[in-house]
């Protein structure tokens, strides 16, 4: 049995978006990235009903921003933390435990200001933590950080209003969403990274419909492929 951690990040939830007819089974969310991720999870469950899915929606329930007291607490050894410090890092502990359990992380994200939503960045800030998810050792030279977890797969599903963010696209250099998440995912123990992108949302034209249709097809193919490999 495998465990999936499904993290949604869009601030939107209720739907009146035009999803093509072939996606009639997708719940009517207004978030496109959440709709595609939901389709991926549904397809996974059809293939592997016994697998466990942990779901978190940081767009609707954003984790708090880290602050000075939080940083002081995580740099205090476990057995020396005060009660107040233990309370401060409790959410971080829970979120890390969820990542630790996961074989596959399915992450859906909107593009906001060419990057990830602040709530998703906050989730990463809570999780990428010294001595919990990475170790730091200056004897390693120029790359002192090493992840403690390994062997995970990340499926990133994004939606953007504009287009051309892929490698070779007209806005490749403006894309701080996928590349940023791929860089961070190393510290979650991710060794296999897949990305599915919807674009053109702000144009609302045929290109957008095609992009949604293509993303749905890719998500089905990927779910079938990963369930047969894992």
Binding site residue list: 10, 31-33
**Part in contact with ligand FMN (CB under 6 A); list of ranges 70-78, 105-113, 185-193, 222-230:** 105-113
Binding of ligand FMN at residue 12 (CB under 6 A)? Answer: yes
Q: How far is the CB of 32 from ligand FMN (least distance, A)?
A: 4
* 220, containing H or E segment: helix 206-229
41-80 mask for ligand FMN (x: CB under 6 A)?
A: ----------------------------------------
Among 105, 111, 128, 155, binds ligand FMN (CB under 6 A): 111
The reply on whether position 214 binds ligand FMN by CB under 6 A is no
Out of 160, 215, 222, 223, point to the residue binding ligand FMN (CB under 6 A).
Answer: 160
Structure tokens at 51: 């697998």
Q: Work out whether 34 is an interface residue with ligand FMN (CB under 6 A).
A: yes
Which structure tokens are listed for 153?
A: 């797969």
**Is residue 219 involved in binding ligand FMN (CB under 6 A)?**
no
Instruction: Retrieve residue 30's tokens.
Output: 């207004």
Question: Alpha carbon 211 to chain centroid distance?
Answer: 20
CB of 222 to ligand FMN, least distance (A): 18
CA 46, CA 60: separation in Å to the nearest integer? 27
Distance between CA atoms of 37 and 78, rounded to whole angstroms? 36
Q: Note whether 212 binds ligand FMN by CB under 6 A.
A: no
How is residue 121 written in tokens? 């960045």
d(CA 210, CA 205): 9
Structure token digits, residue 65: 């921003």
Residue closer to ligand FMN by CB (options 107, 226) is 107
CA quadruple 119, 121, 124, 125: dihedral positive or negative? negative
* Beta-bridge mates of residue 135: 146
Contact status: 114 vs ligand FMN (CB under 6 A): yes
Contact residues for ligand FMN, defined by CB under 6 A: 10, 12, 31-34, 110-114, 159-162, 201-202
């Amino acid at each position: 049995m495998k465990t999936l951690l499904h993290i949604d990040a869009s601030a939107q939830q209720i739907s009146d978006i035009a999803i093509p007819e072939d996606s009639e089974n997708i719940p009517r969310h207004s978030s496109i990235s959440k709709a595609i991720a939901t389709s991926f999870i549904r397809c996974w469950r059809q293939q592997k009903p016994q697998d466990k899915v942990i779901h978190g929606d940081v767009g609707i329930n954003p984790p708090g921003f880290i602050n000075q007291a939080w940083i002081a607490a995580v740099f205090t050894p476990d057995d020396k933390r005060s009660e107040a410090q233990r309370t401060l890092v409790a959410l971080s502990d829970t979120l890390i435990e969820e990542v630790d359990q996961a074989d596959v992380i399915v992450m859906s994200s909107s593009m906001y200001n060419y990057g990830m939503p602040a709530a998703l960045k906050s989730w990463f800030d809570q999780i990428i933590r010294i001595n919990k998810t990475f170790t730091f050792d200056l004897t390693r030279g120029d790359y002192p950080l090493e992840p403690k977890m390994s062997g995970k797969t990340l499926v990133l599903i994004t939606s953007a209003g504009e287009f051309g963010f892929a490698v070779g696209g007209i806005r490749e250099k403006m894309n701080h969403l996928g590349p940023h998440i791929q860089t961070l995912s190393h510290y979650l123990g991710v060794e296999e990274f897949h990305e599915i992108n919807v674009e053109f949302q702000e144009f609302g034209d045929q290109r957008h419909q095609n992009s949604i249709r293509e993303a749905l097809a890719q998500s089905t193919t990927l779910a079938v492929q990963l369930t047969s490999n894992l």
